[in-house]
Structure 1
Amino acid sequence: MRHEDVIPPVLKALNENQLALVAAIEELTKWVGDRGSVDTVRNVHGALEMLAYNQASIDMSIALMMRQD
């Protein structure tokens, strides 16, 4: 298998892992917020916004790589 053939599936798996981590962080953030740590929740939401901002570009790039043959 060529290296070029391996890159898109690996990036897809890494992206899926990132999405799973985001979901876990959101759950933990809710838990922290329910206990009154507003500053921590605000900081985490800022980081999650950056991940969300980049997600569309990542998805589109991976889709383009998966289509190329």
Structure 2
Amino acid sequence: MLDNSECKIATADALTLLLHNQHALGAAIEEITKWLSESGVADVAGNAFVAMETLDANAQAITDAIMRLRRC
């Protein structure tokens, strides 16, 4: 079982990753908006794909942090 300090760290870690996901979603939306205004389909699709990879990469880490919190 984790102590209170470790629980706080796990909470902070999870929230930080969620914030990163928020930034990634914002970047994807920004790129889609740029595409709509400039019709730069190839570049925008690539940038949006990178942003979505960030969401995917963080998904497992968020799940792991949540599991650590549940054990507190």
The interval holding the TM-score normalised by the smaller chain is 0.7 to 0.9
CA RMSD in angstroms comes to 2.1
Bigger CA drift: 28-37 or 38-47? 38-47
Q: Which has the higher contact order (CA 8 A, sep 6+)?
A: 2
**Residue of structure 2 equivalent to 1:38:** 41
Q: TM-score, normalised by structure 2?
A: 0.73
Q: TM-score, normalised by structure 1?
A: 0.75
**Seq. identity, %:** 9
Alignment deviations for residues 36-61 of structure 1 (CA, whole Å, 9 cap, x no partner): 12232122123123223223312210
Count of aligned pairs between the two proteins: 69
In structure 2, runs of 5+ residues without a counterpart are none
